[in-house]
A and B are shown apart, each in its own frame.
Chain A
Amino acid sequence: MTHEEIKENLSAYFDGQLGPVETVEISAHVSACPGCRAALDELSRLSAGVKENFPAAAPAAMKERVLAGAGAKKPLFRTSTALAAALAVIILALMAGLVAKRVMPGMFAQLQGMISAASSTLGASGGNK
């Protein structure tokens, strides 16, 4: 193998996933090549860093839901998704109002008048009961 080919195979060598012939050849090269030894050290540090920074731990509540829910149906949306959707609708409505006020002030004033009239009518009818 050339130096470049060995470099390409260092990751698999580090993982012990090469055949015996390739392993012996790369071992011999690495013992004589400071660059490849340094690359192997870096692979080792990367491996330790991944293990340290990405621990595998599922939320306990999820495990319970799996065992409880294996026989039940899953809800369509999660609460967080529903909240995000509600927030988006409110933001869009507010934005639409602002755009209407700026682009079509006449229509906006008319709408405002209609809403005021409707609310006063409702208030009056509520007061008669």
Chain B
Amino acid sequence: MTPDELVKKYSDMAYCLALRLTGNAAEAEDLAEEALIKAVRGLAGFRGDSDAGVWVYRIVMNCWKNQLRSPRLAFWRRLRGFCSSDGEEDTVDPPDPAPGPGARLEAAARSEAFEKAMNSLEPQDRAILVLRELDGRSYSDIAEILSVPEGTVRSRLSRAREKMRGLLRGLLEEK
């Protein structure tokens, strides 16, 4: 696999994973960039024992854990939180809603409800959910990416979905 192929194939999901871990578009970009640069630099040493996606996403997880431990980054994160106007997480724009004012409002409300429900989960649970739903990863792949037992993935995913379902029911009904 060449660096171009690696970036083309895995950067979208690496960014998506980073976005769900950090809850912030700017930090996600930094995290995904750092992880992908490490992956490209380490490509020659990648033996191919495991799936390349699992390897890349593991690097994202490890970089995220290192960032959490970094006091310098924790300081800047707090400062950014202080400077942001409403203290809410800076996430990506919702996807383009359907045409028509009614449909647009409905799509925007739905998107907002999903964002709120997703943000109510723990960062690692968000990661599990997107790895499963958006990348179709098996439980064993996710377990390897997160360095947790497969049973933990199963139970955490089940709980995360249950929590999201409950929240969405409430949020979409009150709209």
User: Interface extent on B, as a size class?
Assistant: 35 or more
Complex partner residue of B130 from A8, A43, A54, A69, CB under 8 angstroms? A54
Q: Size of chain A's interface in residues, with CB distance under 8 A?
A: 38
Contact indicator B79/A51 (Cβ below 8 Å): no
- Grouping DSSP codes into helix (H, G, I), strand (E, B) and loop, the B interface class, with mixed when no group exceeds half, is helix
Q: Known interface pairs A58-B32, A62-B15. Does A70 touch B157 (Cβ–Cβ under 8 Å)?
A: no
Chain A residues within an 8 Å CB radius of B114 = 49-50, 53-54
Contact A70 B32 (CB under 8 A): no
Which A residues are in CB contact (< 8 Å) with B37? 66, 69-70, 74
The residue that A59 contacts in the complex, of B15, B162, B168, with Cβ under 8 A, is B15
Q: Which residue of B lies closest to A65 (CB)?
A: B33
User: CB-nearest residue of chain B relative to A55?
Assistant: B95
User: Are B4's CB and A58's CB within 8 A?
Assistant: no
A53 and B115 contacting across the interface, CB-CB below 8 Å: yes
Chain A residues with CB under 8 A of B26:
78, 80-81
Among B13, B26, B37, max chain A CB count under 10 A is at: B37
Give the interface of B toward A (CB within 8 A): 3-4, 7-8, 11-16, 20, 26, 29-30, 32-34, 36-37, 40-41, 76, 79-80, 82-83, 94-95, 110-111, 114-115, 118, 129-130, 132-135, 138-139, 154-155, 157-158, 161-162, 164-165, 168
Interface residues of A (CB under 8 A from B): 8-12, 15, 17, 42-43, 46-47, 49-59, 62-63, 65-67, 69-70, 74, 77-78, 80-81, 84-85, 87-88
